Structure 1
Amino acid sequence: MAKVVVTGGNGFIGGHLVSRLAARGDDVTVFDPGPVPPDLAVPGVRYATGDIRDPDAVAAAIPLDVDVVYHMAAVVGVDRYLSTPLDVVDINVIGTRHVLDRAGRAGAKLVLASSSEVFGRNPAVPWSETADRVLGPTGTDRWVYSTSKAMAEHLVFGFAAAHGLPVTVVRYFNAYGPRQRPAFVVSRTIHRALRGLSPVVYDDGGQTRCFTYIEDLIDATVAAANDPKADGESFNVGSSVETPVRSVVELITELTGVPPTVVPVDTRERLGDRYQDLTRRVPDTAKAAEILGWEITTPLEEGVRRTIDWARDNPWWLALPDSGLS
């Protein structure tokens, strides 16, 4: 049994991680700005409420005898980083520094949840962990999340070099699954389909992504925390199967029985220069396979079916607002 703290543990990825850690018998504390939704509370888990930008709140939530800190807290989603870019920087960067300070005092292992977004629009896919970052201008809000996550990685590796803290960075590629806020391709399409609404597709839907089922992603995250060979390393965590966005939308409409007529959104017309999309996003996961012994085990259709089944059984989720752009 390990004593662990999960920041952002009420979120999509954090919530699944908390469930996994509690199920294996870990002593788990969640630190999150809001109360846990009643449907997602895990028995035996302590829930601490506070703002990650407040160092005192972070210190109160992370005890000095903690073994592992999983830093999942972040502002995520196109809708959010276009509407509140300053919050993205403050929470993703300043919050990470506060967590590092406390984890350093405790001498705990720290696992940072990062993102495929750090690679920006580098056209040379698949991306290895050392691939170059290629970004657009700072005046384009699209890149604030990418930059904030890259800065968080710099903080983590810099702190490790200065203080000897064991750290690992996991970069997630297009996670999906039960509980995800309906603002992303898979979650939003399922959310709309089960309410009888047509799916929304940005531009022509020809952009490709490598969709990663949440349980596979959690497998990699826990492995990164447990394996000393992961200390000081970063890992791409994602499927290697490249799927056009329109294809996953069509799969969902087929499985839910909703007519595949889509609501097209021209991002250039809708958002102007604030947003720039990526044509392809593909990870090279050889490093995770070699060091962590990790690989994807859930095919896209199976993961989508599981997510649809869960959504049908959870009307509270279907009652959430559609929070994507349209």
Structure 2
Amino acid sequence: MSRIVITGGCGFLGGHLVDRLVGQGTDVTVYDMAPPPPDREIGPGRVRHVVGDVRDAGTLASAITADTEIVYHLSAVVGVDRYLSRPLDVIDTNVMGTRNVLRRALDVGAKVLLASTSEVYGRNPAVPWSEGSDRVLGATSAERWSYSSSKALAEHLTYAFMRQAGLRATIVRYFNLYGPRQRPSYVISRSVHRVLNGLPPIRYDDGRQTRCFTYVADAVAGTVMAAESGRADGECLNIGSDRETPIGEAIDLVCRLAGANAEPLAFDTAARLGDGYEDVPRRIPDTAKAGRLLGWRCETSLHDGLVKTIEWARRSPWWRESPVPDRQAG
């Protein structure tokens, strides 16, 4: 059995977290419905792979055992294409699955690191967002907000388990992660995928929307620090770069570093994604709390992170040949 359990350990962030922990000599149990990606096979040794859905409490219990010390709860249904087409799966997995994880962790006395998202802030115009900033959302009829609301409810559940039942837990909110192995459904991964396949990148609207792109290795470092630090118990922390970059500039940088001379295809968000999607003009974290409690800061510039991501993508034909969803956004 393993003292560390990672739900969603075959996903993008989960896979990098597994690599980090195993590299430190830690035994890890991965709990996931999916197999690991082709360039990262989970075999015998320090990693145990349990196939299961977090909505299945019985199977989950076979992964989170009595000797588990920390549960990194990363399992979620995420991505614009998924919450526009599968909002029920988003809500069920992110809410009911989280409740199962929290209940089981409480039963065995393990700490939970809950992976949340900058999406919980919605479209609050008062940036940068601190952990106590207000949530500003659109109508419930827009699928755009199902992911945000489900992750916020997962946070409420976590706080409830902490305050009412005594669970040890920390919540981290990630801001626009990117890097090797990411599904080509996000602005950086989609742009890299397209230009390396000889296709022009896609830009929504005028490309002036801004994001703070966070290299996955920096996010993993902050995640491990938050899980292992007693100072983070009971806290919520923003994990992200504080460097604001217009999406159009990020796309241009991908093209330049990949050696591609391609004019982006411009799409109107409403026409392309429908009424269920609403864009967020600016998304910027205040990361002072993570710096104060953990000594963490984002170390990798967008330029350097893109160089690493593009180099990896060139060496990974399986990823370049992977399908791309029809409906995507930044």
Normalising by structure 2, we get a TM-score of 0.97
- What CA distance in whole angstroms lies between the structure 2 residues aligned with 1:305 and 1:129? 31
Aligned match of 1:50: 52
Aligned match of 1:195: 197
Letter in 1 for 2:120: V
Letter in 1 for 2:261: P
Normalising by structure 1, we get a TM-score of 0.98
Tell whether the 8 Å contact from 1:183 to 1:324 is kept in structure 2 after alignment: no
Aligned match of 1:142: 144
- The 3-state SS of whatever aligns with 1:102 is helix
- Cα deviation for residue 270 of structure 1 reads 2.3
Matches within 5 A, 1:128-167: 128-167=130-169
Aligned match of 2:215: 213
- What CA distance in whole angstroms lies between the structure 1 residues aligned with 2:161 and 2:123? 27
Aligned match of 1:11: 11
- What CA distance in whole angstroms lies between the structure 1 residues aligned with 2:19 and 2:326? 27
For residues 54-110 of structure 1, the C-alpha deviation after alignment (integer angstroms, 9 at most, x for no partner) is 111111111121000000000111011001000000000000000011100011010
Aligned match of 1:277: 279
Aligned match of 2:118: 116
Letter in 1 for 2:223: T
Aligned match of 1:74: 76
- What CA distance in whole angstroms lies between the structure 1 residues aligned with 2:34 and 2:195? 28
Segments of structure 1 that go 5 or more residues without pairing to the other structure are: none
- Cα deviation for residue 33 of structure 1 reads 0.7
- Cα deviation for residue 150 of structure 1 reads 0.1
Letter in 1 for 2:14: G
1:25 aligns with 2:5: no
For residues 149-201 of structure 1, the C-alpha deviation after alignment (integer angstroms, 9 at most, x for no partner) is 00000001100111111100000000000000000011010000101000011
User: How many percent identity over aligned positions?
Assistant: 56
- What CA distance in whole angstroms lies between the structure 2 residues aligned with 1:183 and 1:64? 37
CA RMSD of aligned residues (A): 1.0
1:40 aligns with 2:40: yes
Aligned match of 1:300: 302
- The 3-state SS of whatever aligns with 1:112 is strand
- The 3-state SS of whatever aligns with 1:131 is coil
- What CA distance in whole angstroms lies between the structure 2 residues aligned with 1:246 and 1:130? 30
Tell whether the 8 Å contact from 2:38 to 2:318 is kept in structure 1 after alignment: no
Matches within 5 A, 1:258-273: 258-273=260-275
Aligned match of 2:257: 255
Tell whether the 8 Å contact from 1:254 to 1:260 is kept in structure 2 after alignment: no
- What CA distance in whole angstroms lies between the structure 1 residues aligned with 2:271 and 2:65? 49
Moved more, 147-156 or 30-39: 30-39
1:317 aligns with 2:319: yes
- The 3-state SS of whatever aligns with 1:273 is coil
- What CA distance in whole angstroms lies between the structure 2 residues aligned with 1:259 and 1:175? 25
Tell whether the 8 Å contact from 1:184 to 1:324 is kept in structure 2 after alignment: no
- The 3-state SS of whatever aligns with 2:101 is helix
Segments of structure 2 that go 5 or more residues without pairing to the other structure are: none
